[in-house]
Amino acid sequence: MALRKFKPITAGTRWRIGNAYVEVTTNVPEKSLVESKKGTGGRNSSGRRSMRYIGGGHKKAYRIIDFKRNKKEIPATVASIEYDPNRTTFIALLNYADGEKRYILAPQGLTVGMTVVSGDAVAPELGNSLMLKNMPLGTVVHNIEMQPGQGGKIARSAGSSAQLSNKEEKYAVLKMPSGELRKVLINCYATVGVASNGDHQLQSMGKAGRNRWKGIKPRNRGVAMNPVDHPMGGGEGRASGGQPRSRTGKYSRGLKTRTKGKGSDKLIIQRKNGSKLAK
């Protein structure tokens, strides 16, 4: 993708670095694949606020994405590359040979007119979806299933991917975006390529108002609160608050948050910090 640096003609554009959207080909979504989406404002089903700093923002329509890629052996032509307000990566509209239309996550390099296909015996080419057991070692993939038929769960955000590093009898070993080495069942599906919009993290909002458009409200610092409101609150002057922690007292660094004895521990060969899990 390409980034766009704005001229400092206003205070809001002085520091703004935005997306040039050179890959995006249309701004009108496919009507049959769009649903209404209601904002929560951070409230749960009881109407009580369960998440702070959420509210407002522009209305969004939800694009129905095919994470399962379960339309097998039917070729599809890429009709358009589109922006999706609900995710960081771009999406691609596919026109299947039988007339059906579906959205998928667009991999980097996918362009209008290209053909993609899903199935057990397809070539491991860009945009194709197939089982991990049918891919050569070193293949870079995204939208990876954790259970067969579940639909892609891993490496779906902008610029993310995992690499197939080894194949065993029952499992495929993937090097995750975090550097973690993890086993996934070898008959799970994944899509070849890297998720698009890789420079998303290099963007700069430029002003606080752009976050308000996204439904993100200003976040108050814990050290600026009173002791009754936050463990880091209170003190004389600009007290640091000691060890950074959450409102409920959970440390934000140095504390392992993964559940002990989690069932998937046996599938993790090496953690992202390079340490191996104790068996």
Rounded Cα distance between 118 and 23, Å, is 23
The pLDDT score that the predictor gives to residue 154 is 96
> Quick check: 238 pLDDT over 90?
no
% of the chain with per-residue pLDDT over 70: 98
| Structural domain 3-200+261-270, CATH architecture | Beta Barrel (2.40)
The pLDDT score that the predictor gives to residue 77 is 98
Q: What is the DSSP track for the chain?
A: --EEEPPSSSHHHHS-EEE--SS---SS--GGGEEE----TTB-TTS-B-SSSB------EEE-B-SS---BT--EEEEEEE--TTSSS-EEEEEETTS-EEEEEPBTT--TT-EE-BSSS----TT-EEEGGGSPTT-EEESEESSTTS-EEES-STT--EEEEEE-SSEEEEE-TTS-EEEEETT-EEEES-BS-GGGGG-B--SHHHHHHTTBPPPPPGGGS-TTT-TT---SSS---SS-B-TTS-BSSSS--SPTT-GGGGGEEE-TTSPPPP-
108-128 tens-digit pLDDT: 999 999 999 999 989 999 999
205-230 tens-digit pLDDT: 999 999 999 999 999 999 999 999 99
Closest to 135 in 3D by CA, of 159, 163, 105: 163
Average pLDDT for 242-255: 89
The pLDDT score that the predictor gives to residue 65 is 98
The pLDDT score that the predictor gives to residue 277 is 62
The residue ranges of every structural domain in the chain are 3-200+261-270
Average pLDDT, the chain: 94
The pLDDT score that the predictor gives to residue 272 is 82
